[in-house]
């Protein structure tokens, strides 16, 4: 497979985009760096930054276990938006071979993944 393998996911105090090629390791990248390397549009870049910021905004630093969206509907809308953004990364960038979206809500709250 040629091209970038991209992973879009949200994590506290971390970048939301990771990618690799067949000859490079999986590394995290800032939204701006991602936009430059993958030739993403300004609109998609702004929307990715807003999606990441929305997730960072719900972090309860006093007790991360209490971090949550204000409503289940807000969480579902955020998840659906991430899925759309992942699809747009693939559509916009000829350098991308594959995009995985890990924010689909299938990992139950409180589960530890290694």
Return d(Cα 56, Cα 67) in angstroms, integer: 10
Both tokens of 23, joined, read: 């000859």
Full residue range of the structural domain in which residue 46 is found:
4-101
The pLDDT mean for the chain works out to 87
Give the pLDDT band of residue 107 (cuts 50, 70, 90).
Answer: low
| Rounded Cα–Cα distance for residues 8 and 6 (Å) | 7
C-alpha closest to that of 69 among 54, 50, 83: 54
Residue 108 in any domain: the answer is: no
pTM: 0.86
In terms of Cα–Cα distance, which of 51, 50, 6 is closest to 28?
Answer: 6
- Flag whether 111 is in a domain: no
Provide the number of structural domains found in the chain. 1
């Amino acid at each position: 497979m040629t091209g970038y393998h991209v992973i879009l996911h949200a994590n506290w105090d971390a970048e939301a985009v990771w990618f690799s090629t067949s000859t490079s390791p999986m590394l995290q990248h800032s939204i701006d760096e991602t936009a430059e390397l993958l030739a993403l549009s300004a609109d998609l870049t702004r929307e990715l930054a807003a999606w990441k910021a929305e997730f960072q905004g719900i972090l309860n630093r006093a007790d991360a276990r209490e971090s949550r969206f204000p409503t289940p509907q807000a969480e579902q809308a955020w998840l659906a938006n991430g899925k759309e953004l992942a699809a747009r990364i693939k559509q916009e960038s000829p350098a991308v071979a594959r995009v995985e979206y890990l924010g689909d809500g299938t990992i139950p709250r409180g589960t530890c993944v290694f």
